[in-house]
Chain A
Amino acid sequence: MYAFTFENPSSTAAAAQLIAQGGKLLAGGQSLLPSMRLRLANPEKIVDLNNIPELAGIRREGNALVIGAMTRHMDVANSADVKAAIPALADLAAHIGDRQVRARGTLGGSVANNDPAACYPSAVLGLGATVITNQREIAADDFFVGMYTTALEEGEIITAIRFPIPKRAAYLKFKQAASRFSLVGVFVAQTDAGVRVAITGAASSVFRHAGLEAALNQSFTPASAAAVKIDASDLNADIHASAAYRANLISVQTQRAVAQILG
């Protein structure tokens, strides 16, 4: 780790001022701190979000759940509101990393980082959520731009995410055995606006699968999902899985998610 200065603001506005001066935000630190320890990241100034009370918390707003950016995975997993309204989201949070990661990691940190194999982005995209920042609101469909890249501008801080409550949803993660990140994670939701299928782990960034959504809008059955040919050409290939295998997992996991939703 290289030396850095540490700022500890108590409001989002103060944090925004500090990052405008070149600071780097620290949320749960589950990606940033290991990178710093390995000397792969070298921020000169850390702006800690952990003492800004307004950024954490879960509340019901009409037909939506609004979850503060600094809410820990553990708190989402254990929330009675989340379990009642979007059990798939609570289940997703309950299986991120290990107990230590869930105690520190945050929703906003995960979504802002947009790791191609992270779980949360698939829920944000799969549920058609809205990312709320200190400057504006961004629809999920416009938020995830590419590998580790989002629509966030310099100085913009995620304050909360608004999740519309779906009719039914399920998240199935097929784990990469070493990291236990998703090799392929599939978030399937039946929403008022139709079926949404968001895939994480398979490509450079989370994405919606139009073919699966169309088929499932027509007929919400495993067989309908199975009939969709998954194009492997834009999928990741690495030592853990070929693109063809990831395509297979997208198909199989979607079928199983649908079966789970149908009970």
Chain B
Amino acid sequence: MGASDFSKLPHIGESLKRKEDYRFLTGAGQYTDDVVLAAQSHAVFVRSPHAHAKINSINVEAAKAAPGVLGVFTGADVAADNINGLPCGWLITSTDGQPMKEPPHPILAQGKVRYVGDHVAIVVALTQQQARDAAELVEVDYDVLPAVVSVADAAAGTVAGAGLHDAAPDNHCYKWAIGDKGAVEAAFANAAHVTKLDLVNNRLIPNAMEPRAAIGSYSRANDEYTLYVSNQNPHVERLLMTAFVMGLPEHKVRVIAPDVGGGFGSKIFLYAEDVCLTWAAKKLNRNIKWVADRSESFVSDAHGRDHVSHAEMAMDKDGKFLAMRVHTDANMGAYLSTFASAVPTILYATLLAGQYTTPQIYVEVDAWFTNTAPVDAYRGAGRPEATYLLERLVSRCGWEMGLGQDEIRKRNFITSWPYQTPVALQYDVGDYHACMTQAQELADVAGFAARKAASEAKGLKRGIGYSSYIEACGIAPSNIAGALGARAGLFECGEVRVHPTGSVTVFTGSHSHGQGHETTFAQVVAARLGIPVENVDIVHGDTGRVPFGMGTYGSRSISVGGAAIMKALDKIEAKAKKIAAHLMEASDADIDFSGGEFTVRGTDKKIPFGQVALTAYVPHNYPLDKLEPGLNETAFYDPTNFTFPAGTYICEVEVDPATGSTRVDKFTAVDDFGTIINPMIVEGQVHGGLVQGIGQALMENCVYDRETGQLLTGSFMDYAMPRADDFPEFKLGHVCTPCTHNPLGTKGCGEAGAIGSPPAVINAVLDALRPLGVKEFDMPASPHRVWEAIQSAKA
């Protein structure tokens, strides 16, 4: 079935209440910490208190002798058992043709620690209290080394002795580039005007509601391991852990990611703790649980963003973009996390065309190791960084050309599709003017002048900010990803199991950690088969039950995972029609299926779906000579292109110049997600994304001490997580141009809010402060920083 027919099915586009919410809201969710195994013991990790230090010795004798302790392991034990380091899943090749530097990422430190929170030892005891007590008895003798935490300091190379890895003594991981540098330089030489911008994309700490957690388990009976883990892609976790780290056969390891309380990317990755628990479970022949406390999450979860960039746009006299060039320094942290290398390259630079017809773009990226937690994908992963840079630059172009933020965008919007950008991607479809028009109406842009005057009368400054974002989702065509350095395929798998009574279980490789797949996916299946949504259950997150899967990230679940289910449903429908034809003594070609009934075209013969299902499993009257019994189909779907959600966001802020307090007064988001299956769930995703993006723009900021490398924002007392009362009501709107290359017409909606909103906020802040002479401003727009910008402009 194609996208056009699909979107017309009953209940597609209806806001069904989420099936999973009863369990979540009544405390019946089963998160990893809710899983209690027999004779379960507890692990605590000994972590580095230093950002950079040589380990002279580790004395574990006192810890081993402490009450209840079952085992204490260090890097020496890891080395003795030949456990490898954690792999990076994406190879980036430098401009000189050399592969990126991939220093070892040991699961327990090998002679050196490289960030505060780096894992040094694992202590396993009968109770968590005993493990904590014993962990304090592990004596580590360190020689503290100089630390470097920012890309500026790493790139400058001015901190002597701060080389993290032997494989990269200058801390440089790679230099990567995309685009035609010569053509860009030629275009700049002929430009009527060049707009330049320096900017910082502030580092963020993900902070999922459920901290990371895992239980390692081993069965001597059949030499099988089970790992329960709060994770977004259990099959990928298993593949990386077995094939790359532990050298185990995949069929002997089962990974279960039960209910997961948020991830935002931070639970995509294979972490050292997961491997340690699996490994130690066999060594001790015990089930071992570890649940991160919040302080551990702050120091040890992969962080997000942390780019420093310079960008330039060349324009003709009418503000038409001629060429853009960008240089970005990206912070990798101390080690390469699972997809770290792809974030500031493939997922970033390829998005820098945005919604515009800029004919030439050249982007250069330097990636650096620093003494900080590894940095990896975080809601949007490279695309928020691209959007923030481009949309800040475009608004500045508009101001410098005297055109306004809307006009500069409209003059440069792409208006025909498919559109080939100069940075590899080909957009299939869109309507950027329609998003802009609707956003301006919903935001009441016409009334802005009056609202600004009212603010002025109160001594406040009001500004309006635009952001027209695009993202590449539905990740990804495996062949293209492979050519770009991916070390994995990016398809998805779906199995539809019709039971004899006509109810259905769907096994999907996508993973829901808050996205509501149990409802949306069930809605798709129920609509296709014409059965009640209650008769469809979705199973995910278990390598022992789901055939295979690549998991959930990059707003890919419905467009790739959903498409795989659609393909499986095509197979179900085709087989069911043959069974129905046999039952009704008609030709296969004369069978129609809709509304849960099979009919014979041109007759009044019909039978319901349930009767066909029963016949498939009780094949007494059945074409056994040409058709197998049963009704259970599996499909793999590999997308032919990315999907391209896009939209325009408009933010209005009110700034109190006396204190720098900045309040988001209005926020309007118009998105084109293609087909929408459940509008309520989509709205929830957009709201969540917006608060994360606006949170970054206004409040959130990860700060390491420049000298010591200590994390200064290591708790919610210092890391400003936004709360509900920090936001206004959001106004949402939708434009729909269905994706042209998947069977649902969907594009994905999980990250848009976080991608599109930060530049809208900061453009609004700059618009408010421009009359005061403020031209430069980096996130976050905390009162103190806004006030300082005003004071600097005065000086």
Contacts and interface: CB of A to CB of B under 8 A. Distances in A.
A178 B784 contact: no
B658 interface: yes
Given A174-B659, A252-B658, A245 B788 contact: yes
B787 A178 contact: no
A100 interface: no
Nearest to B780: A177
B659 A240 contact: no
Interface string B671-705: 00000000000000000000000000001000100
A239 B718 contact: yes
B712 A245 contact: no
Interface of A: 1, 38-39, 174, 177-179, 181, 239-242, 244-245, 248-249, 252
Nearest to B787: A245
A179 B718 contact: yes
Contacts, number: 42
25 contacts: A1-B129, A38-B295, A174-B659, A177-B783, A178-B699, A178-B713, A178-B716, A178-B717, A178-B719, A178-B720, A178-B721, A179-B716, A181-B717, A239-B703, A239-B712, A240-B718, A240-B782, A240-B784, A244-B791, A245-B660, A245-B784, A245-B787, A245-B788, A248-B659, A252-B658
Contacts of B717: 178-179, 181
A156 to B, nearest CB: 29
Please report whether the interface of chain B is mostly helix, strand, loop or mixed according to DSSP: loop
A38 B712 CA distance: 16
B659 A177 contact: no
Given A240-B718, A252-B659, 20 more contacts: A1-B129, A174-B783, A177-B699, A177-B720, A178-B713, A178-B717, A178-B718, A178-B719, A178-B720, A178-B721, A179-B717, A179-B718, A181-B717, A239-B712, A239-B713, A240-B784, A244-B791, A245-B660, A245-B787, A248-B658
Given A38-B295, A178-B721, A242 B659 contact: no
Nearest to A39: B132
B716 A242 contact: no
Nearest to B782: A177
Nearest to A184: B659
Interface string B709-731: 00011001111110000000000
Contacts of A244: 791
A239 B132 CA distance: 31
Nearest to B716: A178
A244 B719 CA distance: 22
Q: Which of B712, B716, B718 neighbours the largest number of chain A CB atoms within 10 Å of its CB?
A: B718
B600 to A, nearest CB: 65
Interface string B643-680: 00000000000000011100000000000000000000
* 9 A-B pairs with least C-beta separation: A178-B720, A177-B720, A179-B717, A241-B784, A252-B658, A245-B784, A239-B703, A177-B699, A178-B718
Nearest to A174: B659
B703 A242 contact: no
A249 B659 contact: yes
Contacts of A252: 658-659
Interface in B752-781: none
Interface in B102-129: 129
Given A177-B720, A178-B716, A248 B787 contact: yes
